Homo-oligomer: A and B are copies of this chain.
Amino acid sequence: MENNKKTRKSAEIYPSTQVSPAVIRRLPRYYRYLRELIRNGESRISSGELSKMMQVTASQIRQDLNCFGGFGQQGYGYNVNYLFTKISEILGVGEGYRGIIVGAGNLGKALVRNRMFERRGVDIVAMFDIDKNVIGKEYGGAKVLDMSELKKFCDQTSVDIAVLTLPKSVADETIPLLEDAGIRGIWNFTGKELKCSDETVCEDVYLGDSLMTLCYELRTRGNLSKDDD
């Protein structure tokens, strides 16, 4: 993967008007479908075909992509490679972000080996923990360093993203350390809502909430089918 580290060269693709969070949330899904199309050797697709595949209306697709200037041509459809590249740029894939994983427990170790970081252009450069039993070990190419070295490490190697996989009981006290080290993005797996400064971007993953939503759906559907009997 080409590394455009810190070179914000593509200012022209920023939307001139505010794009709604709903559209932004949908873009990664386009990204996934387009990647699949590229893998299957498809070079163009009509909004109708894309619509059928993604099960959203063609008009929704046109609207979404028009937010960014639109990349389709009447009668030709979308150039898959071009659209994929543009969406990648919009999403910040290939910005060359550097990440660390804070908390080298089971989840941290599982995530560091996940190829999604590489695919999304995020380079995981180290892991941090306070447990002497894991400090010094290496997982998925990333070495576990002592939390006390965080600031020094980040002074030498600027870090954009911290993946928080530590226990929720120590989550709050960790935030100022990360912010002090110049980290601006936090990917939060602690299951706790964090108190970050306004400058920090925090994306939360609440696995427990997702599991409960599944249980709720199972339960209500189970009830419905019982009523159907």
A residues contacting B by CB (< 8 A) are 8, 11, 14, 24-25, 27-29, 31-32, 90-93, 95, 97, 105-107, 109-111, 113-114, 116-117, 119-122, 160-161, 184-185, 187, 191, 193, 199, 201, 203, 205-223, 225-226
Closest 3 CB pairs of A and B: A92-B215, A28-B209, A110-B110
Which chain B residues lie closer than 8 Å to A199 at the CB level? 221, 225
Cα A105 to Cα B114 in complex, Å, equals 10
**Residue pair B203, A28 in contact (C-beta under 8 Å):** no
From B95, B211, B220, contact of A14 by CB (8 A): B220
> From residue A96, how far is it (CB to closest CB) to chain B in Å?
10
> From residue A109, how far is it (CB to closest CB) to chain B in Å?
7
From B93, B121, B208, contact of A119 by CB (8 A): B208
From B14, B187, B205, B215, contact of A91 by CB (8 A): B215
From B27, B211, B215, contact of A95 by CB (8 A): B215
Return the chain B residue nearest A186 by Cβ.
B214
**Residue pair B92, A184 in contact (C-beta under 8 Å):** no
Cα A187 to Cα B216 in complex, Å, equals 13
Which chain B residues lie closer than 8 Å to A119 at the CB level? 208
**Residue pair B219, A95 in contact (C-beta under 8 Å):** yes
Return the chain B residue nearest A18 by Cβ.
B220
**Residue pair A208, B32 in contact (C-beta under 8 Å):** yes
Cα A92 to Cα B91 in complex, Å, equals 36
Which chain B residues lie closer than 8 Å to A205 at the CB level? 205, 207, 210
Return the chain B residue nearest A25 by Cβ.
B213
Return the chain B residue nearest A224 by Cβ.
B14
**Residue pair B201, A218 in contact (C-beta under 8 Å):** yes
Cα A93 to Cα B219 in complex, Å, equals 10
> From residue A40, how far is it (CB to closest CB) to chain B in Å?
13
Cα A210 to Cα B193 in complex, Å, equals 16
Cα A86 to Cα B61 in complex, Å, equals 40
> From residue A38, how far is it (CB to closest CB) to chain B in Å?
15
Which chain B residues lie closer than 8 Å to A213 at the CB level? 24-25, 28, 91, 203
Known contacts: A14-B223, A212-B28, A222-B8. The answer to whether A106 contacts B116 by CB under 8 A is no
Cα A115 to Cα B117 in complex, Å, equals 25
